[in-house]
Amino acid sequence: MRTIAHISDIHFGRTDPAVVEGLAQDLAGRKPTVLVASGDFTQRAREWQYRAAAEYLKRLPTPQLVVPGNHDIPLFDVIRRIFFPLHRYRRHISADLRPAYMDEELFVLGVNTARSFTHKSGWISEEQLLDIKLRTCKQPPGVFRVVVTHHPFIPPPRDPHADVIRRGVEYIDELEDCGVDMLLAGHLHLAYHDDLRSHYKSAKRSILSVQAGTATSTRRRGEPNAYNWITVSRDLCTVAVRAWNAKDKCFEESLVTRYERVDGAWQREKQVSVDKVAEEVLVTHPPEAIPPKRGI
């Protein structure tokens, strides 16, 4: 069994200091196999925001696998945006735009989907797709394979027209061919997960698509700050959402979902617990009340 601490959208420059501290404390006693951060480290890719994010990452468990998000490319500095889009990211967060973690049971590959020529959208290039295929296909049989992007492959159930990865349907064949088991992403500041086939009717392989909410940003969309604590083994997976409890000022388990792979298909076994935080979300933010994205 392996464990993944999956944080996303920490957005330094637009954070809640109490939540920032609370997340560091919640992760301090934990030893995930790998900590994955799926992009949007900063709010506007400014130097001071990158410095703060980099300092913060040093406090979190290692090893870490990180990919950039659309907010990690400067928005208003056009020269930098076009000619040096991820210069600051590479200097402060990671120089590696195609990172990987691997051991005998788990392979995790990071893919950069942030782009200069679009404000919010993202995609995977032909070259990156080939890279995914070459590196993932050669993993030994039985290794659990995870691909990390900033942009999600599937929309949240409560917002089916949300901005997902562009041309996603064109990547499915490759992901299937190299036996990808799970996709991790963020971007929409909402925590949700499902079989990829819930959105791509042509997909044949059952792949779990798991999104994390924003861990520390104040730009929430009707959900508390949260991150995912994920355990994986060959045919069993548990996604535990750990959400910020503003009253007690701590992260706590809010929603735990177990999946079992039966005859090649991930089946949602049961929701193990719904605590008061999740119930509060459902009561105070019914599906029709999700606030608009406003530049997420």
For Fe ion, the binding residues (CB under 5 A) are 9, 40, 69-70, 187, 296
> Nearest distance from residue 285's CB to Fe ion, in Å?
18
> Nearest distance from residue 296's CB to Fe ion, in Å?
5
Question: From CA 5, how far away is CA 239, in angstroms rounded?
Answer: 10
- Identity of the residue, 219 or 258, whose beta carbon is nearer to Fe ion in the bound complex: 219
The sign one gets for the Cα dihedral 115, 113, 209, 94 is negative
Tell me the chain's radius of gyration from C-alpha atoms.
18
- Identity of the residue, 14 or 197, whose beta carbon is nearer to Fe ion in the bound complex: 14
> Nearest distance from residue 104's CB to Fe ion, in Å?
33
- Give the three-class secondary structure for 186: coil
> Nearest distance from residue 218's CB to Fe ion, in Å?
11
- Identity of the residue, 219 or 268, whose beta carbon is nearer to Fe ion in the bound complex: 219
DSSP string computed for 42-99 = BSS--HHHHHHHHHHHTTS-SSEEEE--GGGS-SS-HHHHHHSTTHHHHHHT-S-SS-
- Identity of the residue, 40 or 195, whose beta carbon is nearer to Fe ion in the bound complex: 40
> Nearest distance from residue 185's CB to Fe ion, in Å?
9
- Identity of the residue, 54 or 296, whose beta carbon is nearer to Fe ion in the bound complex: 296
Tell me if 93 sits within 8 A of 68, measured CB to CB. yes
